[in-house]
């Protein structure tokens, strides 16, 4: 028996309403999984056009050896466009992928409900609207579910299975099992603004944009630090140029408005200006970067070679950056240990302190300090960012640069900004994830799965938080909050509780 009806797989009909890129992708997934698929679009001729586009994509899969010609022909034999919504009457699952407008979706599902049988699951692919609100106009809201595929649907594995306030558990279970049977990676999620991925990913963009707005670093450098030190596959500036600045900004604004203008979700003025200027990224030819064919790609700021110091003094331990000590010694630089000292930092030969950013600015008094940023893995990271205080001498900065260059790292020197780049981003991601779990948006496992599979994060945020320690994350955010007392960086109660528990166990 299949997940979506009470008969064998070849009798389970899937209806897809809306035949744009996402609708075509969902239809292709269902077809390859063995289902008859009916395509409907309110615009005349679009369903027929979608059949041709899907056939072309399946043909390319055959050319690449990913699908046999026989399987392609069988799939196309199960695909049919329909001209009227009444022709979807035999569907066991109906998924819409139409415009993101609440009234339009409610009108569609009200019409569908009068056509399909009562056992048919009704699903929306919305990424920004409330599943509960869409279902509010239905006679049987218990069978309504959110199935949020990611674009392109045939390639990306994640599907958020979103349970609205009125969704029956049995319907959610059927939807989850169906998505899993299609070879996708389903995660369960409560109906909340942004669901899992679009809710938890906001700091990845917002913190980078804020660092840029403060002119601490340029977009190319911020992207490089997050890729080469943080381990993210793409930086937020290049990624939003790929997504579309208008699309990404609209999601950010929708989540912010849905949370009643919570400062944690505040959109970026700089990104809003890009959208207003029509600079939407690759699709318009210009976004954060110029995408003209002959335009040079901006290079990140990278320091020139500098001489490394012969030795450094280690006071205490470096916490999440403890691996640096072994790397420094492997590079032939002497490390003199002062283990009974409070705090964790290195001291360069001229007395300048060099430490992992703790959320506060390097410039707090007259003492010369240099902060370095967090890395996913200090051994494999290929770039490190440094932020010197206003009193750090050029010679001190050069010594710090040389130290990390001796470890095989490229070095980007940025202006002194609280939390730097990777550290503030990761701390916020961890806090958002803990808060979501505490509010029962999703399970810890589903949160980490969603962020790894949906947006290719190098680690799930909860996994990252366990490695860093809740106390480190909490204290980093508290210091950021001291620098920016708007509420944006105030640690969540979930993080505060987790950190307190860790302290009790020590």
pLDDT of residue 3: 56
Q: Mapped to the 3 state alphabet, what secondary structure does 211-225 carry?
A: HHHCCCCCHHHHHHH
What does the pLDDT look like over 341-400, one tens digit per residue? 777 999 999 999 999 999 999 999 889 999 999 999 999 999 999 999 999 999 999 999
pLDDT of residue 343: 76
Instruction: Say if residues 389 and 370 touch (Cβ distance below 8 Å).
Output: yes
Tally of CB atoms within 10 A around 445:
13
Rounded Cα–Cα distance for residues 1 and 5 (Å): 7
Q: Phi first, then psi: what are they for 294, rounded to 5°?
A: -100, 10
Instruction: Say if residues 234 and 242 touch (Cβ distance below 8 Å).
Output: yes
Half-sphere exposure of 273 (CA within 13 A, CB side): 6
Which DSSP letter does residue 176 get?
Answer: H
With a cut of 90, say whether residue 283 has pLDDT above it.
yes
What does the pLDDT look like over 96-137, one tens digit per residue? 999 999 999 999 999 999 999 999 999 999 998 999 999 999
Known catalytic residues are 127, 148, 160, 198
Tally of CB atoms within 10 A around 351:
10
pLDDT of residue 225: 98
Rounded Cα–Cα distance for residues 461 and 452 (Å): 9
Q: Which two tokens stand for residue 186?
A: 């389903």
Q: Which two tokens stand for residue 16?
A: 């897809």
Nearest to 16 by CA among 60, 81, 104, 71: 81
pTM of the model: 0.94
Q: What is the mean pLDDT of residues 157-176?
A: 97
With a cut of 70, say whether residue 9 has pLDDT above it.
no
Sequence-distant (6+) residues with CB within 8 A of 451 are 196, 197, 200, 201, 429, 433, 457, 460, 461
In sequence order, which ranges of 307-382 are alpha helices (DSSP H)?
A: 323-330
Tokens 């601490």 sit at which residue? 216
Q: What is the mean pLDDT of residues 58-71?
A: 96
What does the pLDDT look like over 230-278, one tens digit per residue? 999 999 999 999 999 999 999 999 999 999 999 999 999 999 999 999 9
Q: What is the mean pLDDT of residues 25-32?
A: 97
Rounded Cα–Cα distance for residues 18 and 368 (Å): 61
Q: What is the mean pLDDT of residues 8-32?
A: 88
Band of pLDDT at residue 59, cut at 50, 70 and 90: very high
Beta bridge mates, 369 = 353
pLDDT of residue 340: 72
What is the helix (H) or strand (E) element at residue 95, kind and residue range? strand 93-96
Nearest to 404 by CA among 381, 438, 428: 381
pLDDT of residue 11: 60
Q: 345-347 and 311-315: which strand pairing?
A: antiparallel
315: left (phi over 0), alpha (psi -120 to 50) or beta: beta
Dihedral angle of Cα 363, 368, 373, 377, to the nearest 10 degrees:
-160
pLDDT of residue 505: 77
Rounded Cα–Cα distance for residues 357 and 303 (Å): 19
CA distances from 399 to 118, 346, 388, 415, 472 (A): 72, 12, 12, 17, 27
Rounded Cα–Cα distance for residues 347 and 354 (Å): 6
With a cut of 70, say whether residue 64 has pLDDT above it.
yes
With a cut of 80, say whether residue 62 has pLDDT above it.
yes
With a cut of 80, say whether residue 10 has pLDDT above it.
no
Nearest to 141 by CA among 124, 159, 158: 124
With a cut of 60, say whether residue 8 has pLDDT above it.
no
- Positive or negative, the CA dihedral 109, 113, 117, 122 is positive
Nearest to 434 by CA among 453, 451, 418: 451
pLDDT of residue 156: 95
pLDDT of residue 403: 98
With a cut of 50, say whether residue 6 has pLDDT above it.
no
Rounded Cα–Cα distance for residues 172 and 166 (Å): 11
CA distances from 250 to 126, 200, 240, 272, 280 (A): 13, 15, 12, 9, 12
Q: Which two tokens stand for residue 3?
A: 């997940």
Sequence-distant (6+) residues with CB within 8 A of 231 are 375, 376, 377, 381, 458, 459
Q: What is the layout of strands, in order, in the sheet containing 345-347?
A: 334-338, 311-315, 345-347, 353-356, 369-372, 383-388, 410-413
Rounded Cα–Cα distance for residues 105 and 135 (Å): 9
Tally of CB atoms within 10 A around 242:
14
pLDDT of residue 448: 98
With a cut of 90, say whether residue 88 has pLDDT above it.
yes
Query: In the chain, what percentage of residues exceed pLDDT 70?
Result: 97
Tally of CB atoms within 10 A around 300:
20
pLDDT of residue 4: 56
């Amino acid at each position: 028996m299949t997940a979506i009806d009470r008969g064998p797989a070849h009798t389970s009909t899937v209806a897809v309403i809306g035949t744009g890129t996402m609708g075509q992708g969902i239809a292709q997934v269902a077809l390859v999984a063995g289902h008859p698929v009916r395509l409907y679009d309110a615009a005349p001729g679009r369903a027929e056009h979608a059949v041709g586009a899907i056939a072309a994509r399946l043909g390319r899969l055959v050319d690449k050896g990913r699908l046999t010609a026989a399987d392609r022909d069988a799939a196309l034999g199960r695909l049919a466009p329909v001209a009227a919504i009444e022709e979807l009457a035999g569907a066991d699952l109906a998924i819409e992928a139409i415009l993101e407008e609440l009234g339009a979706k409610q009108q569609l599902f009200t019409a569908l409900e009068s056509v399909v049988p009562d056992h048919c699951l009704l699903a929306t692919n919305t990424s920004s609207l409330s599943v509960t609100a869409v279902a509010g106009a239905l006679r049987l809201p218990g069978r309504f579910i959110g199935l949020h595929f990611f674009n392109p649907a045939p390639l990306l594995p994640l599907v958020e299975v979103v349970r609205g306030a009125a969704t029956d558990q049995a319907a959610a279970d059927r939807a989850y099992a169906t998505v899993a049977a299609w070879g996708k990676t389903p995660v369960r999620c409560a109906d909340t603004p942004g669901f899992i991925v679009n809710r938890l990913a906001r700091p990845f963009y917002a913190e980078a944009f804020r660092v840029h707005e403060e002119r601490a670093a340029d977009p190319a450098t911020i992207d490089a630090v997050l890729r080469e030190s943080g381990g993210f596959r793409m930086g937020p500036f290049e990624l939003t140029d790929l997504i579309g600045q208008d699309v990404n900004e609209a999601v950010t604004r929708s989540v912010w408005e849905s949370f009643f203008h919570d400062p944690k979700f505040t959109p970026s003025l700089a990104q809003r200006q890009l959208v207003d200027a029509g600079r939407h990224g690759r699709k318009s030819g210009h976004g954060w970067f110029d995408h003209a064919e002959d335009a040079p790609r901006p290079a990140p700021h990278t320091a020139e070679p500098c001489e490394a110091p012969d030795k450094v003094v280690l006071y205490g331990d470096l916490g999440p950056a403890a691996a640096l000590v072994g790397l420094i010694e492997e590079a032939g630089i002497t490390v003199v240990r002062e283990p009974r000292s409070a705090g964790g930092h290195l001291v360069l030969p001229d007395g300048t302190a060099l430490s992992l950013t703790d959320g506060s600015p390097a410039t707090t008094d007259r003492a010369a300090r240099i902060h370095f940023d967090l890395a996913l893995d200090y051994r494999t990271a290929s770039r490190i960012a440094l932020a010197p205080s206003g009193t750090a001498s050029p010679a001190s900065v050069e010594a710090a640069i040389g130290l990390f260059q001796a470890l095989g790292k490229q070095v980007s020197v940025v202006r002194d900004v609280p939390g730097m780049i990777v550290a503030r981003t990761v701390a916020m991601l961890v806090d958002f994830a803990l808060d979501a779990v505490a509010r029962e948006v999703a399970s810890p496992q589903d949160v980490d799965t969603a962020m790894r599979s949906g947006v290719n994060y190098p680690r799930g945020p909860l996994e990252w938080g366990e490695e860093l320690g809740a106390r480190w994350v909490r204290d980093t955010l508290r210091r950021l909050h001291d620098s920016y007392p708007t509420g944006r960086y105030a640690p969540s109660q979930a993080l505060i509780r987790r950190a307190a528990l860790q302290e009790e166990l020590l």
